[in-house]
Amino acid sequence: KHLEGDGHATSTAPIQLKYDQHQLTFHIRSNERANAPAVRYAYRIPDLDTTWTDAGREERITMAHLIPGDHTFQVRARKGDGPWGPISEARFIIAPPYWATWWFRALIVLLVAGIITLIFQWRLALRTQKMEVRFAREQALSEERLRIASDLHDELGSGLSVIKVKSQLALERPATNPANEVLQQVASSSSELIDSMRQIIWTIRSGQSSLKDLVAYMRSYAVGYLADHEVACSFGVDEVLQDRQLTVEQRRALLLILKEALHNVVKHARASRVTITVSDTDQLRLRIADDGVGISSGNGTGPAHGVGLKSMERRALSIGGVLVIEQMDGTTISVVVPLTSERTGPNVPYGNSKGTDTFA
């Protein structure tokens, strides 16, 4: 930048520099060309330093390491030891780097505020999720308590009432109610109550929640129950069975469906053999087949009339399954329950197509 002085201040357009252009050289020339060697100069940038710097007779002044901002370079001259002349000025502007601009700082503030908001929302969502999980657990526990209370009332309450009535009849009318017969009925009812209690306890035990445990319990129950009524039982695993984890509702529903089906076989089918198979691919299938007389509306066990069949259908629906009844050379009841991966553990094979046990 050239500055020329004739005794009056010079007004020039501002010099625009980028933030990395922080060095500026000014060339100074006096109008007093004849006496130029005797002219001395002084300069300053008031907003950076208010003191004047003596440049001597140097007409080339370089300013380095200038900071961003709107600056004014001032220079004055004098002849020999005479007074200083008027000030000549040159305005220059050094633009700040983008990270020092107001819009960049505002963007950083917005970004930090956004991150803080996201963290707050994430923590709030996490806390809400934990509360929902806790609420679901408490609700499931409450429902489980109600279910256990209902089971105790249905299974044990009626049985205890029967024992009480029979005992009172034996005490009030011993002649018409022989003691041995009453005691045998009481013992039978007590045995049924014990079995019911064991089944209720088994279904709620967390240590026996796998499909493998359920199949083992079903096998033991079916064989013992049918043997007491002189019916042969064939129980097996039709295909490779996965070691899945089942919920309390699934275990309870499947076990009660099996009990109801076997009860119907003993009470109505007049069958000599029952074949039970369990298979598991992408869904669980429980199949109970007998060689009895089949289901008819005349014996009160048809789909339109049978309370037991409706109960089995309702239990299958409660766990997302379906109950299928087929009649051909007896009756076949199949329960198909889809098992999602969310409810399953490692798929460890258990059993095979040849793993069928026959009990007579």
Does pLDDT of 124 surpass 60? yes
CA distances 29 to 2, 42, 58, 64, 123, Å, are 8, 13, 10, 21, 69
Residue 288, number of CB atoms within 10 A of its CB: 24
pLDDT tens across 192-215, in order?
677 777 666 666 665 557 888 888
Does pLDDT of 351 surpass 80? no
pLDDT at 301: 41
- DSSP 3-state of 349: strand
Does pLDDT of 23 surpass 90? no
pLDDT tens across 257-284, in order?
998 899 889 888 889 999 999 988 778 8
Q: pTM, whole model, 2 decimals? A: 0.50
Q: What percent of the chain has pLDDT over 70?
A: 72
What span, in angstroms and rounded, lies between the C-alpha atoms of 109 and 115? 10
pLDDT at 85: 87
Choice between 15 and 110, residue whose per-residue pLDDT is larger = 110
pLDDT tens across 220-270, in order?
889 988 998 899 999 987 666 677 788 878 888 898 899 889 988 988 888
What span, in angstroms and rounded, lies between the C-alpha atoms of 106 and 227? 83
Average pLDDT over residues 176-205: 68
Average pLDDT over residues 140-149: 73
Lowest mean pLDDT among 23-27, 123-127, 354-358: 354-358
Local confidence band at 172 (pLDDT 50, 70, 90 cut-offs):
low
pLDDT at 29: 76
CA distances 329 to 1, 177, 267, 269, 332, Å, are 113, 42, 18, 11, 9
